Structure 1
Amino acid sequence: MNPLVMSRNLVSLILPVLLAACSAQDAPPAEPPLAGAAIGGPFELVDSSGKTVRWSDFDGKYRIMYFGYAYCPDVCPLDVQRMMQGYSSFKQDNPELAAKVQPIFVTIDPARDTPEVVGEFTSAFSDDLIGLTGTPEQIDKAVKAFAAYYAKGETSEGGGYLMDHSRATYLMGPKGEPIALLRVDEGPAAVAADLEKWVS
């Protein structure tokens, strides 16, 4: 084959690859899925020691937010386990970035989830996880700020009951802005991947 033709053919094969590589490097970062959403806002709750904790206390840190309850028989423990396993994996690979992230568990069952109960629940998963509770009014305000949902189920003869609630796991930015929903339902690896994508 004519060397000139071969050269042109080679260029025609390589050029698209080079252009694609350049465009990938020059492409702006993806817009966070929840950018601009009306999610998040000020709240005042208490931690496991009974200390008052405000949303503004976490300014400057990314926040992972999950709403659940300690007496949950299945869903909450599974979600929180995956969430914290994903965070732990992210922390192992990116310790400096992980130091900028605060995982937070907020109960939607303040009648039973006292500071002590919330503390026992969160410590079963990780010392990095903060558990928060409060009065019914404080909890309701926090839940509504995050466009989450909860409702008390029917009380059994023994006095027990279940709580119906949404399962979203929010990643919020250093200014309290919504970034994305972590893919807890896909497992710890997906959570770690999401953190690696959005935490900088």
Structure 2
Amino acid sequence: MRLRHIQIGLWVMAGLAALAYGAFILRPQMNTQTHETTFRSEFFLADGAGQLRTTDEFAGKFQLVFFGFTNCPDVCPTTLSEVAQVMDDLGDAAAKVQPIFISIDPERDRRLGIDTFAHAFHPAILGLTGDAEATRAAAESFKTFFEREDATDATDGYTMSHSAALYLIGPKGDWLRQFDYGTPADAILSDLKSRF
């Protein structure tokens, strides 16, 4: 009798384990699908002339979006150089793409000239800034990170730590993918052309 109870107990435990495993396997797949269909990045930021620009304005175009700052010593210039090369190599198809540089150091970057910085790489790159709240909201929307760090050897005594990804947003405003830092222009170009 005791053996029978043990067997029943083991079968119950096995059944519960199977149910738990099934829930574990199915749940991430459902979450992934939901995540992909609901993940929309957005911004409400000003251009160099002070005009408010929003995500909706670029409906119908692909967006290449990068978060950085004008005093960035290497990551930002390297990435924006790759974006500039992509825009040149797209030729007439460049009209289908809007490259955007969003400042994570808006107060200083407005003073230094966000347009001058962005256009030094390519005239199509749109530089955007906002107040602290709008900047943080845009970064959170893109799931990107930035943080001010004290640095005695840097201009004004600080620098900015930030994610180095380049984000690709689709014509309907949907997040398509991110390109890791160091992704060459030809790889970005190839991906874009495959979507036209």
1:74 aligned residue: 74
**Cα distance in 2, alignment partners of residues 79 and 134 from structure 1:** 21
The reply to whether residue 169 of structure 1 matches residue 137 of structure 2 is no
Q: Residues 63 and 103 of structure 1 are in contact (CA less than 8 Å); yes or no, is this contact kept in structure 2?
A: yes
Q: Residues 168 and 176 of structure 2 are in contact (CA less than 8 Å); yes or no, is this contact kept in structure 1?
A: yes
Which structure 2 residues correspond to residues 4-153 of structure 1 after superposition, within 5 A?
36=36, 39-89=39-89, 91-92=90-91, 95=92, 97-114=93-110, 117-153=113-149
**Cα distance in 1, alignment partners of residues 38 and 187 from structure 2:** 25
1:195 aligned residue: 192
Name the SS for the 1:53 alignment partner.
strand
Name the SS for the 1:63 alignment partner.
strand
**Cα distance in 2, alignment partners of residues 87 and 173 from structure 1:** 16
Q: CA deviation at 1:42?
A: 3.2
**Cα distance in 1, alignment partners of residues 184 and 151 from structure 2:** 32
Name the SS for the 2:157 alignment partner.
coil
For structure 2, which runs of at least 5 residues remain unmatched after alignment? Answer: 1-34
Name the SS for the 1:176 alignment partner.
coil
Distance 1:183 1:166, change over 3 A: closer
Distance 1:81 1:39, change over 3 A: farther
Q: Residues 164 and 181 of structure 2 are in contact (CA less than 8 Å); yes or no, is this contact kept in structure 1?
A: no
**Cα distance in 1, alignment partners of residues 190 and 118 from structure 2:** 23
1:154 aligned residue: 150
**Cα distance in 1, alignment partners of residues 40 and 121 from structure 2:** 24
Equivalent residue pairs, number = 161
Which of residues 182, 188, 195 is equivalent to 1:185? 182
Distance 1:188 1:41, change over 3 A: closer
Q: CA deviation at 1:60?
A: 1.5
Q: Residues 42 and 142 of structure 2 are in contact (CA less than 8 Å); yes or no, is this contact kept in structure 1?
A: no
Structure 1 range deviating more: 128-137 or 184-193:
184-193
Identity %: 34
| Higher helix proportion | 2
Q: Residues 49 and 115 of structure 1 are in contact (CA less than 8 Å); yes or no, is this contact kept in structure 2?
A: no
For structure 1, which runs of at least 5 residues remain unmatched after alignment? Answer: 1-34
Quick one: which amino acid aligns to residue 163 of structure 2? S
TM-score (norm 1): 0.74
